[in-house]
Amino acid sequence: MAGKHGLGRGLSALIRDTPVERPPVAAPLEYPQVEIARIRPNPWQPRRVFTKEALEELTASIREHGVLEPLIVRKAEDGYELIAGERRWRAAQEAGLAQVPVRVIEADDQKALELALVENLQRADLNVIEEAEGYQVLADKFGLTQDEISHRVNKARASVANALRLLGLPKEIKQFIAEGLLSSGHAKVLLGTGTEAQQCQLAERTIKDGLSVRDLERIVEQARSVPRKRRESKNDMPPDHLTYLTNRLHQHFGTSVHVQPCRTLANGRKIKGSVQIDYYSNDELSRVLELLGLSEQA
């Protein structure tokens, strides 16, 4: 993906800013080996979904080649706490390893979350909901602005903002995204629709019919272009009286008169009425004006 190179630099920069503890180790190991039992998972881990197939593939690789890249950890009271590399840690346990290589760094809670986010984003391991939830923790718990978050994880501010917007979707839709049933593109289209019930209905239809993002956009656009139902209203003048009044005006002016009564909408709002008097010459206009008590003279 386009941002991988930058994210790699972001992770390196974050780690370089922290002192690294490297206890003496016997050659040829570059990093110390730590018992898996002494490592606990990262409570700030933004990743929630670990697909079974991918984990099985990594487990098979570790059985054959071992853990080639060290886990990033920080010291804890009873051992170590993972910062990055939870998938490798899980696969190593499945592979039956007793020890794994680690890189020990100093990091507070905020730094631990930043590193975990960058490491997962670099590997494209996070779905967009997990990514957004990580950003939300940085904002809520550590008080970072969107600009600060984008700088810390080396992502465009617009990407951070768009991801955070998806957290406003119903829980059901966020689960669909986490499971890979809907893409972030689908999610952005659904954000522009009406109620949560409508969003969920469209999401389910998208999954059932295998709709592309473009298909979903067309459906939403068509729904918006459906003519609105005319608001109910009633004339403020009974039909019989309207006919009587129209005939009286016709007799009085000697020409066609059209009366449009005022109306009251269902919400109580009034719509104005009108009276139209027809004439077919200037002389006839003068006669109508005289009947109205008006003169053409200024």
Tens place of pLDDT per residue across the chain (298 aa):
444 444 444 555 555 544 445 444 333 457 889 899 999 887 766 666 667 777 888 899 888 888 888 888 888 888 898 888 888 888 899 999 999 999 898 888 888 877 777 776 666 567 788 888 888 888 887 788 989 888 878 888 888 898 888 888 998 998 898 888 998 899 989 988 878 888 999 999 999 999 999 999 988 888 777 555 555 677 888 888 888 888 888 888 888 888 888 888 877 788 888 989 888 888 888 888 888 888 766 5
Long-range contacts for 228-232 (Cβ within 8 Å, ≥24 apart)? Answer: 231/265, 231/266, 231/267, 232/265, 232/266
pLDDT given at position 100 = 92
pLDDT given at position 214 = 92
In the numeric block, which tokens belong to residue 76? 């804890």
pLDDT given at position 234 = 78
Q: Which residues contact 295 (CB under 8 A, 6 or more apart)?
A: 289
Positions annotated as catalytic residues are: 86
- Gyration radius of the chain's alpha carbons: 36
DSSP assignment of the chain = -TTHHHHHHHHHHHHHTS-EE-----TT-SS-EEEGGGEE--TT-------HHHHHHHHHHHHHH---SPEEEEEETTEEEEEE-HHHHHHHHHTT-SEEEEEEE---HHHHHHHHHHHHHHTT-S-HHHHHHHHHHHHHTT---HHHHHHHHT--HHHHHHHHHGGGS-HHHHHHHHTTSS-HHHHHHHHTSS-HHHHHHHHHHHHHHT--HHHHHHHHHHHHHSPPPPPPEEESS-HHHHHHHHHHHHHHHTS-EEEE--EEETTS-EE--EEEE--SSHHHHHHHHHHTT--S--
Sign of the Cα pseudo-torsion (170, 171, 177, 180, in order): negative
CB atoms within 10 A of CB 155: 21
Please compute, for residue 276, the number of CA atoms within 13 A of its CA located in the half-sphere on the CB side. Answer: 6
pLDDT given at position 264 = 85
Q: What whole-number distance in Å separates Cα of residue 88 and Cα of residue 59?
A: 8
Q: What whole-number distance in Å separates Cα of residue 109 and Cα of residue 143?
A: 13
Q: Is the peptide bond before 28 cis (omega within 30 degrees of 0)?
A: yes
Classify 66 in phi/psi space as left (phi over 0), alpha (psi -120 to 50) or beta: left
CB atoms within 10 A of CB 153: 27
Would you say 62 and 90 are in contact if contact means Cβ atoms under 8 Å apart? no
pLDDT given at position 226 = 57
pTM listed for this prediction: 0.52
pLDDT given at position 2 = 40
pLDDT given at position 20 = 46
pLDDT given at position 41 = 85
pLDDT given at position 13 = 52
Q: What whole-number distance in Å separates Cα of residue 91 and Cα of residue 93?
A: 5
pLDDT given at position 297 = 63
pLDDT given at position 11 = 52
pLDDT given at position 179 = 82
